Structure 1
Amino acid sequence: MTTPPTPQAPYQQQAQQYPQQPPVPQQNWQGAPAGLYASPIPQRRATLGDALASEWTKIRSVRSTMWTLGIMIVLLLGIGLLSAIAVNASGSELGSTPVLSLGFFGVLLGSICVITLGVMTIASEYGTGMIRTTLTACPTRGRVLTAKAIVFFLLTFVITTVTTALVAVMQTAMLGGVEPTGGDWLRATVGVGLYIATLGLLSLAVGALIRHSAGAITIMIAVVLLPLVLAMFMFAESLADVQQALFEYSIPSQLGAFYDASVASSGPSGWEPLWIMLGVTAVAMIGACVSLDRRDV
C-alpha cells in the first residue's frame, strides 16, 4: 500500500518551479569584498624617508633630548668661556700652546651627554615597550636602526660643530698666542663634531646590544674613562707597554689629538682618531643590526 504524497505549501511549490540562484557576493564602496576592510587613504610602500620622519618626530619630542643636548651646550660654552677668562685674568701667555686647545675640557665632559642620549635613543624604547610599536609600524628592523643612526648622527654633529666653532671664536678673540691655521680650525670644529657624533653612534649600538639604559651608559662611560685611569696607576715596568698603549688609544687622548693636546706624547694624530672610531663603530653597528634582526623584542 503506497503512502499518498504530502501536500505542499504554495511557497514550496514556487521554490521548485523557480530554482534558487547562487547569492551575489556583496561589495563595499571601494569594490572589495564586504568582509574585508579597505582604507580610504591611498596606500604605498613604506620607505626609509618614512622611518626618518618617524625617528625625527620621536627624538625631538622627548625631554631627554632637550636635557642632554642642552647640558652639553652649557658645558661646552661655559667651560670654554671660563677657561679663556681664567687665562686672560692671570696675565699668563699661552706661548706655543694652541689657543683652541682650551675647548678640549668642555668637549670631554660634553661627550658624556652625547653618550647618554645615544644609549637612550634605542634602549629607552625597550624599557617602555615602545620598541614593539616601532617594529610593528616598520617591520624591517635594519631600516629602523638605520633611521635612528642617521637622525641621531646628524643632530649631534650639527650641534657639536656649531657650539665648538662658537667657543673657538670666543677664545681666539679673548686670548693671544699662536694664530690657528685653517687645518687647526677644521679639526677643532668639524673634526671634533664628527668624532663626538661617531662616539654617540657607538653608544647607540651598545644600547641596542645591551637593551638596558643604565647598563649601556655605564659600559660606555667605562670605555671612555677607564683606560686612561688604569694607565695612570700602572707603575710596574712589566706593564710599561700596556700603559703606553692605553695612554695613546684612550678616548681622551684621541680627542685631544684634534686640538694638538694629546695626553700621550705619541700615538694617533691629526685625523687618525676619527678613522679608528669609525672602524670600531662600524663593527658595533653591524653587531647591533644582527642582534636586532635575530632577537625577539
Structure 2
Amino acid sequence: MSTPQTPVPAGPYPGYTSPIPVKPTHLGHAIASEWTKIRSVRSTMWTLGVFVLLVVGIGLLAGFLVSGSSEGDLGGESALALGFFGLLLGTMCIITLGVLTTASEYGTGMIRTTMTACPSRGRVLAAKAIVFFTLAFVVTLVSAGFVALVQVSLVTEAREPTGAEWLKGTVGVSLYIALLGLLSLVVGSIIRHSAGAITVMIAAVLAPLVIALFMFASSLEGLRDALFEYSIPNQLSIFYANSLSESGPSGWDPLWIILGVTAVAFAGAVALQEQRDV
C-alpha cells in the first residue's frame, strides 16, 4: 500500500529562515551591474580610446598649426573654437558606444540574463542611461578641457576667452555630446540591432547638413536654412559661438533641444520595452 503524501503548503514554511540573505533590489544594484558590464567589455576601451585620440590629437594639431596667430587670423574668435573639429569626429565614437551599450545585449542574448536578474525593464534602461551618460560626460569634459587649455596657451595672440565661453566650450559641449550618446543608447534599445541603430544615428548627424548643401532651388531656401540651423554639426558649433547660419538656435538652445528629444525618445523606449518580449 502506498503511503499518502503530505501536501506542500503554498506559502513559506513556518519557522524556516533562508541561509541566503534576501534583500530587495533597487536602482543602485542595477547601476552597479551596468557599471561592471560597461567597464569590462573591449568595445568601451576601444571606442573611448579612439574618441580621446581624435579629440586630443586633432585639437592639438589645430592648435599647433595656428600657434602665433593673431585675433584677426581667427576671425575674432577665441582659441577654444579650434576644439570643434576633433569633437565633431569624436561624436561618432560616442554614438557607437551608446548604441552598443544596449543593442549588443540583444544581439548576444545577454539581455535575457539582465532581465531575469532585474525584471523591471524601466530600471534596467535607467541604469544603463545613468552609467553611460556619466562616463561619456566625464571623458568628454576631461578631453575637451585639456585641449582647450593647451590651445589657449598656444594661440597667445588670440582673444582671451570669457568665463561664459569657457563654460560652454567645456561643460556645455560635454553635456551635449553625452546627451547625443544617450540618445544613441535609446535608439539602440528601440531598434535592437547594432548596425542598424549606428546607421540611423550617423545619418541623423550628417544627412541634414549634406542634404542642405545640395538644395540649390530658391523655393527650398526655407527648408535648406532649417536643415543648416538644426543640424547636429551646427548645434555643436554654437557652443563655440561659430554658427553656420545667422538665425536659428543660439546660446544654450542646442542643449535644451537635445535634452527634449532624448527625453521623448527615452519615454518611447520604456513604453516599447514594456510591450515587447525580450
| Fold conserved between structures, TM > 0.5 | yes
Q: Who is 1:219 aligned against?
A: 200
Shifted more, 38-47 versus 267-276: the winner is 38-47
Greater RCO, 1 or 2 (C-alpha within 8 Å, sep 6+): 2
2:159 maps to a residue whose letter is V
Task: Report the number of matched residues.
Answer: 269
Superposed, which structure 2 residues align to 1:1-297 within 5 Å? 31-32=15-16, 39-88=18-67, 93-175=73-155, 176-297=157-278
Gaps of 5+ in 1: 1-21, 33-37
Q: TM-score, normalised by structure 1?
A: 0.87
Q: Conserved in 1, the CA contact under 8 Å of 2:101 and 2:128?
A: yes
Q: What displacement does 1:41 show?
A: 2.1
- CA RMSD, aligned part only? 2.1
Cα contact 1:117–1:200 (8 A) shared by 2:
yes
Q: Is the Cα–Cα contact under 8 Å of residues 69 and 158 in structure 2 kept in the other structure? A: no
Specify the code of the residue in structure 1 equivalent to 2:91.
S
What is the CA distance between 1:95 and its match in structure 2?
4.5
| Identity between Structure 1 and Structure 2 (%) | 64
How much has 1:235 moved relative to structure 2?
0.1
Structure of larger gyration radius: 1
Match of 2:11 in 1: none
Q: In the alignment, residue 203 of structure 2 is paired with which amino acid?
A: A
Whether contact under 8 Å (1:79, 1:105) holds in the other structure is yes
Shift of 1:90: 7.5
Segments of 5+ residues of structure 2 without an aligned counterpart are 9-13
TM-aligned CA deviation for residue 271 of structure 1:
0.4
Q: Distance in 2 between matches of 1:285 and 1:113?
A: 21
Please state how far the C-alpha of 1:162 moved relative to its aligned partner: 1.2
String of CA shifts for 1:264-297, please: whole Å, max 9, x gaps.
2221111000000000000100111111111001
| TM-score, normalised with respect to structure 2 | 0.92
CA distance in structure 1 between the aligned counterparts of 2:114 and 2:98, rounded to whole angstroms: 17
In structure 1, give the amino acid aligned to 2:252.
W
Alpha carbons 1:95, 1:178 under 8 Å: kept: no
